[in-house]
Amino acid sequence: GTETELRDLIKTFKSKGIGTIADVVVNHRKNVSNWVDFPRETYNGVTYELKSTDICSDDDGGATKNWATSNGYSLSNNTDTGEGWDGMRDLDHNSSNVQTNVKAYLKMLLNDLGYVGFRYDMVKGYAGKFTGMYNNDAQPTYSVGEYWDGNASQVKNWLNATKVDGNIMSAAFDFPFRYTVRDAVNGDWRKLGNTSLISDNNYKRYSVTFVENHDTEKRSNAAQDPIRKDTLAANAFMLAMPGTPSVFLKHWMDCKNDIKAMIDVRKAAGIHNESSAFNAASSQGYYVVIVDNKLLCVVGTSAGTYTPTNANYVKVLSGYHYAYYLNKSMATAWADLSSGEYKGEQTVTLTAVAQDGTQVVYTTDGSTPTASSTKVSSGSKITIPIGTTVLKAGILVNGVVSGIITRTYTCTEYIPFNPYTITVYCNGDQVGWTGYINFWTWGGDGSHSPKNSSWPGDKVTTSTVIDGKTWYYKTFTINSETDCVNFVFSTGSGSPQTVDVNDIRTDAYCEVSTTQDGGKYLVNTTTGINEPVYDDSTLAFHPYIYTLDGRMICQVQKGEDLTRIIKSLPKGIYIVNGKKVINL
């Protein structure tokens, strides 16, 4: 996107009470035209430029120095203070010029763009003291470092290295936690008790827990390390524990309502980054933890067989291989369905988190429940109808209503998705790809893998000529509202190739450009949209108008003025008679 779009995004988040964290990469930097030159940038009247002498003397195992010497350049006299990375030039953070550039950059992110904190990339690449120095200078609201190591002692060492005046200056991603979760879901849930940052009372406040990230997820033609099952149970455990949890965006998109309900419980129990957790029971099939004596969480393939031995806990939420229980001393009502938008009528279980026999009273019109409101026993299920419902529920004790919770539901009529076919075209004229183009495909519901399961995928020779250009194409079926297809195009045995082209849901024209990013060609993508020309004779077979995400918004009867109907809809793109049309 553009700088204006970025500023608007940060501003919008801020207005919603959300702070934006910048991804800060200062371990290394890309050169401009040769191995050792960098861009000259002027900001607020000051010119900043890194020099060849700001590059570590041992960059790329000495290869950079050999090139520099042969071409009349000098590097720094200092070796790297961390691990090397051959992808770009490793910066010497002992250099005062590097420090000046980084400090100015960080202050620009905070004071100009409006970020509130930093996610430092690859902090293994330079000494931790520099992260401490930079944060002490910039004073971000929040900071987290990517110290990628499964050994908790190593991550703690990095945290300690960031100290300024005895104070740790950053949090760290809890990779040890992530690996204990991965190992647990692979067959032994007792491994959730393995050492991590959150298992150490002195360091759990600095832990940013996560289950998956962009480096570990399953991706195309890359040897990642994904958690292949029980992601819901993994998230349930993370959200019950101390530390600062970070939910992977794709998990949120796939399981939003489940994860949102877990967050509701975490907030109700008051779990925070220094909460006290202990293992109450465990076996190969399950692991039980009690946090702050308020929340009991059980996860594992045998979680459904576990019953708390402590009668003070009542179940408030459960799902595939996980369950949450709250302590009855909290004296509150509970609804297991979180606020949100749903399709079709919904069922909500109301629970009295209180002594046995306590009733729940509730209203569905947003009014505060009283002793005379509708009463149900704990564990009762109620139906939320189509429309908007504001549910308020409380517990009734000795004629007094307390522990009131509120949920707002918007339920729309469920309309089955109508699968449709898309065609994706690729042109490689600019880079000299002729005769065929390889299509490597994945994503969505998993049905879009190439027939040739080995990289680089299917060799596509089917083509058509449009405006003098040859386009190689392939068709796919979009099977659901969330379905999509991702692509990598290539030639030969898979090299050269393009960057990933993600989330294609409509006809698309992908033109490979000569511009590269990390050695991969960028792709200019446009969607194929028909002009609004309609054939009423086919309406008997296609009586619906759909949005691009597959929602049926209108049924058209044969003989009706289809053009008039389309023009009456909000501006946008629609699927009519199996084709996409645009209403301007």
Read off the pLDDT of residues 376-409 as tens digits, 9 standing for 90 and up.
999 999 999 999 999 999 999 999 999 999 999 9
At 197, phi and psi to the nearest 5?
-65, -40
Exposure class string for 482-494: b at 16+ Cβ within 10 A, else e: ebbbbbbbbbeee
**E strand or H helix at 8:** helix 3-15
Residues β-bridged to residue 171: 144
Distance, CA of 135 to chain centre: 26
Of 425, 522, 432, which Cα lies nearest the Cα of 472? 425
Of 17, 287, 238, 240, which Cα lies nearest the Cα of 248? 238
DSSP state of 499: P
Q: 566 and 474, same structural domain?
A: no
Which CATH number do you get for residue 400?
A: 2.60.40.10
Q: Give the start-end residues of each E strand in 428-517.
A: 437-442, 458-460, 463-466, 469-478, 485-490, 501-504, 508-517
Q: 427 and 520, same structural domain?
A: yes
Residue 168 lies in a domain: no
Instruction: Write the CB contacts of 267 (distance below 8 Å, at least 6 apart in sequence).
Output: none
Q: 438 and 363, same structural domain?
A: no
Residue 513 lies in a domain: yes
Q: 425 and 518, same structural domain?
A: yes
Residues 152 and 198: beta-carbon distance below 8 Å? no
Q: 430 and 518, same structural domain?
A: yes
Among 502, 524, 546, which residue terminates a domain? 524
DSSP state of 506: S
Exposure class string for 319-344: b at 16+ Cβ within 10 A, else e: bebbbbbbbbebbbbbbbbbbeeeee
Q: 455 and 483, same structural domain?
A: yes
Q: 515 and 480, same structural domain?
A: yes
* Domain coverage including residue 579: 536-583
Residue 511 lies in a domain: yes
Among 379, 412, 445, which residue terminates a domain? 412
Among 412, 441, 461, which residue terminates a domain? 412
433 by Cβ neighbours in 10 Å (0-12 / 13-18 / 19+) ranks as: buried
Q: What is the pLDDT of residues 161-183, one digit of tens each?
A: 999 999 999 999 999 999 999 99
Q: 461 and 385, same structural domain?
A: no
Residues β-bridged to residue 466: 469
Alpha carbon of 205 to those of 174, 208, 275: distances in Å? 11, 8, 9
Residue 258 to residue 338: CA distance in whole angstroms: 8
Exposure class string for 62-87: b at 16+ Cβ within 10 A, else e: eebbebbeeeebebbebebbbebbee
Residues β-bridged to residue 523: 512
Residue 421 to residue 440: CA distance in whole angstroms: 18
Which CATH number do you get for residue 453?
A: 2.60.40
Which pLDDT tens digits describe the chain residue by residue (584 residues)? 789 999 999 999 999 999 999 999 999 999 999 999 999 999 999 999 999 999 999 999 999 999 999 999 999 999 999 999 988 999 999 999 999 999 999 999 999 999 999 999 999 999 999 999 999 999 999 999 999 999 999 999 999 999 999 999 999 999 999 999 999 999 999 999 999 999 999 999 999 999 999 888 865 445 567 787 899 999 999 999 999 999 999 899 889 999 999 999 999 999 999 999 999 999 999 999 999 999 999 999 999 999 999 999 999 999 999 999 999 999 999 999 999 999 899 999 999 999 999 999 999 999 999 999 999 999 999 999 999 999 999 999 999 999 999 999 999 888 788 899 999 999 999 999 999 999 999 988 889 999 999 999 999 999 999 989 999 999 999 998 889 999 999 999 999 999 999 989 989 999 999 999 888 999 998 765 444 444 444 444 445 777 766 666 776 665 566 666 776 677 667 777 666 676 65
Total of domains in the chain: 3
Residue 469 to residue 304: CA distance in whole angstroms: 59
What is the C-alpha end-to-end distance of the chain, expressed in Å? 23
Residue 550 lies in a domain: yes
Q: 343 and 399, same structural domain?
A: yes
Q: 426 and 386, same structural domain?
A: no
Is the preceding omega at residue 140 within 30 degrees of 0, hence cis? no
- Tokens 């002009």 locate to 531
Q: Give the start-end residues of each E strand in 284-399.
A: 286-291, 295-299, 313-319, 322-327, 332-335, 340-343, 346-353, 359-363, 374-377, 380-384, 387-397
Residue 13 lies in a domain: no
- Helix pair angle (231-240, 175-185), 10° resolution: 140
Residue 30 to residue 45: CA distance in whole angstroms: 24
Sheet holding 117-120, edge to edge: 21-24, 117-120, 142-145, 171-173, 207-210, 244-246
